[in-house]
Amino acid sequence: MLETALSTTKWEQKIYHIPAYTVADASRYLHIPIPTLNSWLKGRPYTTASGKKEFAPLIDRPSPQLSQLSFVNLVEAHVLRVIRKEHKISLENVHVALDYVSDQLGTKHPLIRKEFRTDGTNLFLDHLGNLINASQKGQLAIKNILDNLLTRVEWDEQNIVNKLFPYIDNNIKEEPKIITISPVISFGKPTITGTGIPTRVIADLYRAGDSYEKIADEYDFDPSIIAKVIQFESSLKQKVA
C-alpha cells in the first residue's frame, strides 16, 4: 500500500509539469496578450547605453524543444500578470527578485509553492523594494493584490498548487470561483468548479440552441452560473477570431 501511495504522489506531481497548454490556450485563459506571454517564456532583447542585452525567461517550460506550457507554468503566468499589469514593475527587477526567492525557498518554481504565500511573498516584496526603492505604501498595495490573487489557487497536501480558478472578467478583482483548471480534472481543461463538467460542453449546448434556463435545469445549476460559463467560453472564442 505504501509503495502504491508513493507512486501515485510522484505521478500526480509529474503531471503538474506535463506540457499541456499551448501559448494560445494560456493567453486566452489568463487574459495575457501572446507577445507578452512569449516575452516571459523566451526572454527578449533590450537596449542599454553599453549595447544590447537580453532579459532571461521568467517562466521555465518543461522542455526547450516544446512550446507548450505546463500547469505549473500556467499558475506562474497567472501571478506574473498582476505583478506586471497592475504595478508596471520591470521584467529585470521581477526576474532578480524571483531568483532571490528561488534561492531562499530552494525551488525553481517559487510562485507555485505554498510558502510563497507566506515567507515567499515577504521575501519577494522586501527584495523588490530594495531594487526599486518602493515606498512602504507601494509595497502594501502590491502585497494586497498578491494576497487577493493567491486566493485564486488551491494547494494539495504536498503544498503544491493543484487548482487554478481563472478570472472570467478581464479584471483583477474578487470574483466567484466558477471555473477550475486542474491537471487532475478533465485532462487539465477548464471545468465548472466542483463538478468536473468541461465548460466547453456547456458552451456547445448553448451554441446548439439550448437556453441558459434549459441547460441550468439539465445540470441542476443556477442560470447565472451557466451565463458566466458561457461568457468565459465566448471570451475565448472572441480572442481566437
User: 16 or 3, which is more confident?
Assistant: 16
**Strands (DSSP E) along the chain, which ranges?**
44-48, 51-55, 153-155, 161-164, 179-180, 191-192
Please say if the pLDDT value at position 182 is more than 90: yes
User: 71 or 132, which is more confident?
Assistant: 71
Q: Which pLDDT belongs to residue 163?
A: 93
User: 136 or 86, which is more confident?
Assistant: 86
Please say if the pLDDT value at position 240 is more than 50: no
Q: Average per-residue pLDDT in the chain?
A: 79
Question: Tell me: the pLDDT tens digits for 193-225?
Answer: 999 999 999 999 999 999 999 999 999 999 999
163-187: average pLDDT = 87
User: What are the DSSP calls for 58-98, one per residue?
Assistant: SS--S-TT--PBPHHHHHHHHHHHHHHHHH---HHHHHHHH
Look up residue 204 and give its three cell numbers.
Answer: 456547445
Q: Which pLDDT belongs to residue 144?
A: 66
Q: Which pLDDT belongs to residue 239?
A: 46
Q: Which pLDDT belongs to residue 93?
A: 74
SS3 state at 146: helix
For residue 45, the tally of other CB atoms under 10 A from its CB is 9
Position 27 confidence tier, pLDDT thresholds 50, 70, 90: very high
SS3 state at 45: strand
Q: Among 3.10.180.10, 1.10.3720.10, 3.40.50.2000, 1.10.10.10, name the CATH number for the domain at 165-241.
A: 1.10.10.10
Question: Tell me: the pLDDT tens digits for 85-129?
Answer: 666 666 677 777 778 888 887 877 777 777 777 666 777 777 776
Please say if the pLDDT value at position 237 is more than 90: no
- The pTM (predicted TM-score) of the whole model is 0.78
Q: Which pLDDT belongs to residue 236?
A: 61
Q: Which pLDDT belongs to residue 133?
A: 52
User: What are the DSSP calls for 132-144, one per residue?
Assistant: HT--HHHHHHHHH
Q: Which pLDDT belongs to residue 241?
A: 35
Please say if the pLDDT value at position 9 is more than 90: no
Among candidates 86, 85, 99, 91, which has minimal Cα distance to 44?
Answer: 91
Position 2 confidence tier, pLDDT thresholds 50, 70, 90: very low
Position 11 confidence tier, pLDDT thresholds 50, 70, 90: very low
User: 236 or 71, which is more confident?
Assistant: 71
Please say if the pLDDT value at position 152 is more than 70: yes
Cβ-based burial of 49 (10 A; exposed 0-12, middle 13-18, buried ≥19)? exposed
Phi then psi dihedrals of residue 237, to 5 deg = -65, -40
Provide the percentage of residues in the chain whose pLDDT is more than 90. Answer: 30
Q: Is the separation of the CB atoms in 79 and 97 below 8 Å?
A: no
